[in-house]
Amino acid sequence: MARPKSDDKRNALLLAAEQVFAERGLAAAPTSAISKQAGVAEGTLFTYFRTKDELVNALYRSIKLELADALMAQFPRRGPVRHRLEYLWNAFVDWGVANPQRLNVLDQLSVADIVTEESKAVGYEPFAEIEALALHSIKTEILQAYPCEFIAANMKALAETTMGFMNAYPDEAGRYRQIGFDVFWNGVARDKA
């Protein structure tokens, strides 16, 4: 009879994959290095994930769902759009500053061809509410009529720039956090007030 799979081992393999991908990049990360980092035999990795692609997709989903929890668990469903977007900004910046390795790996996975459409859909689903807010805000002329994907990409890029400044200048982290959001808001809002 086969041994039951352990959540601890599965999580150790996901964490090891994250660490190895952060150090080597996705393409240059063999499963043997991931197994070694996790402290298990390479065959054990394939007990939990049939292929490296399956491992990559599981890691992508895991990180996206963790990020969704960080952003959406206390997301204000009501109130001015600016305040709701600023909440998302702060939650994303907090998560990224606390998890730079995970953010780096998520950036790699987000452009990886081996991440399936199914995994992308699972990763996107918790964020659908944000897209709905953006679309409504465009329709009601609170935000500029830019494509939602463009707004999201700009928010992410400015947030990551902000994180870099916050890490480089920790004594001024709060100032850079606010500057970053103000630059984002002024770029997408119709009324800059």
- Which tens digit of pLDDT belongs to each residue from 107-137? 999 999 999 999 999 999 999 999 999 999 9
Closest CA to 71 of 130, 137, 147, 131: 130
Per domain, the residue ranges of the chain are 1-50, 59-188
Confidence (pLDDT) at 102: 97
Confidence (pLDDT) at 183: 98
Confidence (pLDDT) at 192: 61
Q: Which fold has domain 59-188?
A: Tetracycline Repressor; domain 2 (1.10.357)
In the structure encoding, which two tokens stand for residue 153, read together? 């990409």
CATH superfamily, region 1-50? Homeodomain-like (1.10.10.60)
- Residues 175, 179: Cα–Cα separation, whole Å: 6
> Which ranges of the chain have pLDDT less than 70?
1-4, 192-193
Confidence (pLDDT) at 191: 79
**Around 156, how many Cα atoms within 13 Å sit in the side-chain half-sphere?**
12
What is the distance, to the nearest Å, from the Cα of residue 96 to the centroid of all Cα atoms in its chain? Answer: 8
Coil, helix or strand at residue 189: strand
